[in-house]
Amino acid sequence: MAAMETSTPAFGSQGLPQRTTRVTPRAVLGKLPAYAAGKSAAEIPGLVAYKLASNENPFGPVPAVREALASFDAYNRYPDPAASALREALAQYLDVPAQDVVAGAGSLGALNQLLAAFAGSGEDGRPDEVIHAWRSFEAYPISVGLAGALGVQVPNLPDGSHDLDAMARAVTDRTRVILLCTPNNPTGPSLRDDAVREFLKRVPSHVVVVVDEAYWEFQRAEGLADGIELYRDHPNVVSLRTFSKAHGLAGLRVGYTVAQQEVTQYLRQSAPAFSVTEVAQLAAIASLTNIDQVEERVQRVVDERERVLRGLDDLGWQYPPTQANFVWLPLGEHGEAFSQLCDQHALSVRRFGAEGVRVSFGEPEANTRFLELCAAFPHPSTMPLPGQP
């Protein structure tokens, strides 16, 4: 509950004492960064505006989703709080028990449920610790802080990938949760299965390890970590996935976790009632029912990814390996100029301070314009050579 500061009493026109108050929030809010969502592209006469700033699926959901929503008319009714039909559909799709699935309002909502259950303040009043790579998903520090826990940020390797060895060394007796983002947002690299399994051997079994796989469906390389396979072998592993990206349902907010019962029993307890709307559940089920069409849309994005990456290679631009629907350009101090150039040509991209720029793969026309701007920009992105900091 927020505290209220009370000032010295003042006196009104009737001579009666008046007490003025100022509402103040929890102190942690002043220490947390603000989430900066990707902005829409500027409207430029003669150009079609394209948003490449939020890793959205440019091809949208499958037609069955629109059909399902068009026939929905129960807006006056609460949704199924257990999302039973959706969980059953996911169980069939993933070949897992339905009781191992817990739905949330997007993968971020599902993550917040997990943090509420496993990370906060201990009985001694000291904050629990949550380890995650940095730079990684921008919402991690916010969610961890709001849960009352202490975020332990472990710098990425020079290629933008997780430093799993350093993350293992960061584990203390206060560690309660570890977040692994693969592919890592915003830098792009994916974790390999063998590396994650070796990492798990070094993590105490009571520490919850979250494999955040928001972009899992876009991956094509062999030997990459799969949270669903990892959770089957490790009771402390949670796979975190979403319908926002591959399924094109970002606006409806539906995600989920998959974990064994010793984890999900607490996730159900910490989940806000009715957090996933009935509309979102229907849309997700319709999308799963037509998964072949979803996969066709995902493949269109992957094809565009490979075309754009070949174009960047031809231009001599360097970037971390990406299996996601975006690419990270380590432009450093030149990031602002490149972002402004894109704005001037009706493209929105996502700049992260003086570190770099993340660009989503969008419509073919948008991707072509992006490559044209890269060709015109005088400061191609570069990366440190192996062994350099």
The reply to whether 389 falls in a domain is no
From 289, 307, 330, give the residue that closes a domain. 289
- State residue 9's pLDDT score: 53
Residue 41: phi and psi, rounded to 5, are -70, 150
pLDDT band with cut points at 50, 70 and 90 for residue 10:
low
Contacts 24+ apart (CB under 8 A), 139-144: 139/35, 139/108, 139/111, 140/179, 141/32, 141/33, 142/32, 142/33, 142/34, 142/35, 143/108, 143/111, 143/112, 143/115, 144/115, 144/119
Encode pLDDT of 276-285 as tens digits: 999 999 999 9
From 246, 274, 289, give the residue that closes a domain. 289
308 and 217: one domain? no
Cβ proximity of 206 and 236 under 8 Å: yes
Closest to 320 measured CA to CA, from 229, 256, 236, 382: 382
The reply to whether 25 falls in a domain is no
Report, as an integer, the average pLDDT of 164-168. 98
Residue corresponding to tokens 């928001």: 214
- What CA–CA distance (Å, rounded) separates 191 from 178? 14
102 and 39: one domain? no
Average pLDDT, the chain: 93
- What CA–CA distance (Å, rounded) separates 288 from 307? 28
Encode pLDDT of 310-327 as tens digits: 999 999 999 999 999 999
Task: Give how many domains the chain has, as a whole number.
Answer: 2
pTM: 0.91
- State residue 289's pLDDT score: 98
Cis peptide before 61 (omega within 30 of 0): no
pLDDT band with cut points at 50, 70 and 90 for residue 329:
very high
361 and 274: one domain? no
Encode pLDDT of 36-63 as tens digits: 788 888 899 999 999 999 999 999 999 9
Report, as an integer, the average pLDDT of 21-47. 84
201 and 324: one domain? no
Cβ proximity of 111 and 119 under 8 Å: no
Report, as an integer, the average pLDDT of 182-211. 98
Percentage of the chain beyond pLDDT 90 is: 86
Report, as an integer, the average pLDDT of 154-165. 97
The reply to whether 30 falls in a domain is no
Encode pLDDT of 75-96 as tens digits: 999 999 999 999 999 999 999 9
Which domain CATH number covers 192? 3.40.640.10
